[in-house]
Structure 1
Amino acid sequence: MKTQRPIISDDEHVVLKFRPRTSAHPPGGREEPGPAKSSPTKSSPTKASPAKASPSANDLSRYEQPRDEGDDFRHRMLANVAALAFTVALTAIGIWLAVSIADLRKTQDCVLMGRRDCAGISVTP
């Protein structure tokens, strides 16, 4: 049986030129949408000085908000303790579940082999 190969013309293949992202404006000539363009700040690029804006174009300082009050370290530490407790509880539940499944599997294998002494008998004093 003969395999059929699609006929490919040269019009379907296009070589794209690679341009590194070093310019202040993204490729295509479009400006970035967002609230930073509506109210220019000291760190946001302006149209008057595109040469100076290129180093700060990738800077995240335009997304920073001024803080009137300091950090609440007590709240941060309580959140960290709560996250740690949740992680430890989730890990303990996962380990318990894995051990329980392994014990059930061992008991099931014992029963399927035809043995009669599979169930553990607990003796209370």
Structure 2
Amino acid sequence: MKTQRPIVQDDDHRVIQFRPRNALHASQLQAPLQPQTRQPEKLIEPLDLSRYEKPRAAPDDFRQRMLANIAAFAFTVALTAVGIWLAMSIADLRRTQDCVLMARRDCVRISIH
């Protein structure tokens, strides 16, 4: 049996050159053999996200946030319980259906109180 290879057109392939994220990294890649000269010390910015923070109009309402967290947790627990109940009832229905399809007579469970 002869194997067939797809026809490849040259216009479908392109090489994309990625640029470095910062200029310091780019200068090190472009000229690694040049001796490094000592530059004057720059002010180092802190590496946190405080410069992106916006001032808030009102302070946080922690009571409302806690109530929302409790409501979300209760909803998640209820949704999980419904999912488990649904999975168990589908499994029970499948067991009963398999029993009936095998032509057995004792398929239904009788609960005695």
Structure 1 residue 61 corresponds to structure 2 residue 51: yes
Residue deviations 1:29-68 (CA, integer Å, cap 9, x gap): xxxxxxxxxxxxxxxxxxxxxxx8xx79xx5734x32124
Structure 2 unaligned spans of 5+: 24-41
Match of 2:62 in 1: 73
CA distance in 1, matches of 2:60, 2:85: 38
Query: TM-score, structure 2 length as denominator?
Result: 0.62
Query: TM-score, structure 1 length as denominator?
Result: 0.57
CA distance in 2, matches of 1:2, 1:100: 51
Q: Which moved more, 1:109-118 or 1:65-74?
A: 65-74
Q: CA deviation at 1:3?
A: 5.1
Structure 1 residue 104 corresponds to structure 2 residue 80: no
Structure 1 residue 84 corresponds to structure 2 residue 95: no
CA distance in 2, matches of 1:7, 1:84: 54
Structure 1 residue 95 corresponds to structure 2 residue 84: yes
Structure 1 unaligned spans of 5+: 24-51
Give aligned pairs, total.
90
Q: Assess, with a 3 A threshold, how the Cα gap between structure 1 residues 123 and 8 changes in structure 2: closer, same or farther.
A: closer
Q: CA deviation at 1:16?
A: 2.9
Match of 1:37 in 2: none
What is the percent sequence identity of the aligned residues?
60
